[in-house]
Structure formats: C-alpha cells, structure tokens
Amino acid sequence: MRCSAFAMGGCMKNADPLTDERDPLAPEAGDPAELLDDVSDFLGRFIAYPSPETKIAHVLWIAHCHTMDAWESTPRLAFLSPEPASGKTRALEITELLVPRPVEAVNVTPAYLFRKVGGEDGPPTILFDEIDTVFGPKAKDNEEIRGLMNAGHRRGAVAGRCVMRGKIVETEEIPAYCALAIAGLGDLPDTILTRSIIIKMQRRKPGEFVQPYRRRVHANAGHVLRDRLEAWAMTAAPELKDAWPQMPHGLEDRNADVWEPLLAIADSARGEWPEKARVAAVSLVLLSAQEPPSLGIRLLSDLKKVFLDGHALSTEAILDQLTGLDESPWGDLRGKPLTDRGLAARLRPYKVKPKTLRIGDKTPRGYERADFAEAWERYTPTPSAESKTTKTSETNSALPSQNVSLRSAADPKHQHLSETSIPHNSSPVSDVLDVLPFTARQGACPSCAGEGCRWCSS
C-alpha cells in the first residue's frame, strides 16, 4: 500500500503536507507502472483534463521526453482551446516541473530557440505558450520558428544557417530535434496538427475543482517525480531503442509515428498501461479525424454530392449546386464566391481538369463524374463495412462511432480485447469538436500562401 506522500513524488520521511518539502536526495524510479501512476496523480491535482485519455497521453508524453535518443520522431503536444482561462498555461506550468531541460518560450526570437535546441547539454523540452501569436495574423514574422516546429520532430533534423566569420560567409547546421509542447487559442495548421497529440482544453464547469497551484509550494514534489523519471530512463533507454510496439489496427502512417514512442513506453511499464495507452491512442486519433477537413477535401466531398445523380455537368451547374449546399463555404471565400477559375485551380492538384462537354445541343466547359474517380478513391474513400464493428467499452465512452483493435505485443494478457478498425479519412463530424479558427488574416494566408485552405475561408 503506497502512502499519500509516495503518490506525490516518493515515500519520503518528514514530508510537510502543506509545503511538499522533501528530502533533497531523489528517490529511485521504482516500478515503472507505479511511477507513471504517480505522474498521473500529480498532474490530476492541478489540471482539469477534457477526458481520461488525454491525461494518459500527457503522462506518456512527459515520460518520452526523458528518452529522446530512443525515438526516430517525437510527437508534439498541443493544448488548444476556443477561449482563454481553459487551463492551457497551467498544463505547461505543471509539465515544466516534470520534463528535462525545460525552456519556457513566449515571444522569443528564432536565434534564441535555435541556440537552445543546439546546446551542448542535450535537446531541451520547449514549452511554447501563446502559440496563436506564431500561427496567427502575424505568422509571416515567425517563419523560422514555424520551420523549427515543422522540422524538429524528426531525429537528425537540422536548421541550416549562414554566419559571418570576419568577411567570410560560412554555413552551419544547428540541430532542430527536440520535444515540443505548445498552448494557444484556436487551431493550428495541418503541418503541426498531423504531428501532434491534440488536447482540447475547456473551461471548468461549476463543480469541477482542481487544487490551486503555487510553484514555490509544489515544485519540489514535481522535481522528485522528474528525478525518478530520469532514473527510470537510464535503465529503460536501451530497451526502448529496440522497441517495435504493436499498433492498434488502422493506426498507421503519421498517426503511427506520433504514437509509437508513447506505446513503447506503455509496453515497457506493463501493468494496465499498454491497454490504457492504446485506448487513448484510438480515442484521440478518432477525435482528430473528426476535425474539419481542408478545403480541398471538402470540395471533393461536396462534388460527390453534386454528381450523385449526374454523369456530366457544366461548370456553371456545378457552381450553382455547390453554393446551394447546406453550410457550404463556396458562396463566400474571403468575401467572394467560388468561380470557374477558382474551381479549376482547386481541382488541379488532384489531377482533375475541365474539358468541353456536349450536353444536348450545347458544348459548355465542365467535368464528368469519371474525372473524379481516382481523387475520390484516394482522398474521400467510403468507410468499409469492416470498420463498423464492436467497440471497446473505454473508447465507446469517449466516441459515438468507430473504434480500433487494442492489442499489446508486450503483454499477452491484453490479447483478449475486441478488434475493430479506424477507417481511413473518417468523415468530419462538426458537432463533436468545436473548432474555433483564427481571426481573419491580413495579406497572404501563412498556411497556404494564398492558394486556399480552411484558414482562408475563416
């Protein structure tokens, strides 16, 4: 039976319950599963999570920061909310106590960040608050920081720079690989979202309480847990470098890259963590799949509806039907309706081009249904019947529809869990996640450089 002090950072002698004062000697890591439980308990004291799965993801992400040399890529952790006072900054403040070499970044220069990441002490953990200032209306002033965030998820990534040495211009490469947690209002461009574990923070309801946090009071308990995580990492790193965690069925490509380190840590900890981690992965991946799609995917999906009963349609007829769809964005793109040239430009990346048709005695420019077959198959596939099978009880509590199989290669006792699958490109459900886009942009969109994306239509 663990004592209450152990749950707060180790079973220490002479612990003051009011100040969390501890013996300066850090405790040993102990059982990995219990260590993760203790981290979870500590986080839960101060952070109101939107779901249990998000807290599990946060715990595993913190642990992965202590073993950065073991991973090919590191997932970003994003605390986002539609309104202020939702607990995002508090989540970063508590994270700072538990991760190695934390760097709290707000309104920093690119040079500062690059030097920190390339420092001799090892890769830091960047905690970037107010991220909406980087991807918001003034994003063009932060291109180098955005580049670091985009590239630094992969081990071995570097940032190339030209430096003056006297009168000679020389090139240098600064390491960009590091762990990154961010917090901000609104949403993020897809280049960051698809590499991130998203935690949608919310304001607490009446009756939801967390313990007031004071750094001078609680920092020592967090540092004890940090030291235990460091002690665990020293022994676990060799095993984690060779780990190949089994993914839930349907968790693949970039989602697999994001969750591989976290599932490897859960398998190494054993206990209930392999199962809990896979339930969290399933839940959060499905929630991210329900985010509003890009305007390109939205256009292809809407064209499926337009061509539902038609073989060939003129561009004029297509535009009329697109603007007539419920909640359609096509009648007001940055203050103007979609035009024939705009339609052709948006379809060009999907290898769909207009052509001359014969419709009755007229020969208008337009499109045939067959022109979209490959694009629809690749980008808006219809979920197969196999994807609609039995759900696990844990995921069913978080999501109303799909699920995946939960299997742990490290712990055979979890082999009994039911199998289901994540469909590719799950259709968005706008009423599940309330996504608040950024305010209107000035000038070219920083996400697509004016080519058209969901930010342009916001």
Domains of the chain from N-terminus onward: 4-289 (3.40.50.300), 295-379 (1.10.10)
Please tell me what DSSP assigns to residue 265: H
Cα–Cα distances (Å) from 416 to 82, 158, 246, 396, 404, in that order, read 39, 44, 15, 17, 13
Mean pLDDT score, 292-302: 90
Q: What is the β-pairing status of strands 168-175 and 125-128?
A: unpaired
Write out the DSSP string of 286-329: HHHHTSPPPHHHHHHHHHHHHTSS-SEEEHHHHHHHHHHSTT-S
Tell which residue, 283, 245, 240, has the closest CA to residue 55: 283
- Encode pLDDT of 400-440 as tens digits: 333 344 434 444 444 333 333 444 444 333 332 332 232 33
The model's confidence at residue 337, banded by pLDDT at 50, 70 and 90, is very high
Q: How confident is the model at residue 187 (pLDDT cuts 50, 70, 90)?
A: confident
Q: What is the mean pLDDT of residues 166-184?
A: 87
Q: Helix 52-65 to helix 32-46 angle, to the nearest 10 degrees? A: 120
Residue 423 or 220, more confident: 220
Check pLDDT > 80 for residue 92: yes
Residue 414 contacts residue 270 (beta carbons within 8 Å) = no
pTM: 0.72
Q: Give me 204's structure tokens.
A: 């607490």
- The residue ranking higher by pLDDT, 349 or 401, is 349
Mean pLDDT, range 43-47, rounded to an integer: 96
Most confident of 6-15, 42-51, 375-384: 42-51
Q: What is the pLDDT of residues 299-319, one digit of tens each?
A: 999 999 999 888 999 999 999
Asked whether 229 and 125 are in contact (CB, 8 A), the reply is no
Q: What confidence tens digit (pLDDT) does each residue in 237-264 have?
A: 989 999 999 999 888 888 999 999 999 9
Using one digit for the tens of pLDDT, what is the confidence trace for 136-168?
A: 655 556 777 877 888 888 888 887 777 788 888
Sheet holding 196-200, edge to edge: 102-105, 125-128, 179-185, 76-81, 196-200
* CB-CB contact of 5 with 221 (8 Å): no
Q: Considering Cα of 434, then 439, then 440, then 446, what sign does the dihedral take?
A: negative
Q: Are strands 125-128 and 102-105 parallel, antiparallel or unpaired?
A: parallel
Write the Ramachandran bin of 404: left for phi over 0, alpha for psi from -120 to 50, otherwise beta. beta
- Of 63-72, 266-275, 430-439, the poorest mean pLDDT is in 430-439
The arithmetic mean of pLDDT across residues 98-102, rounded, is: 96
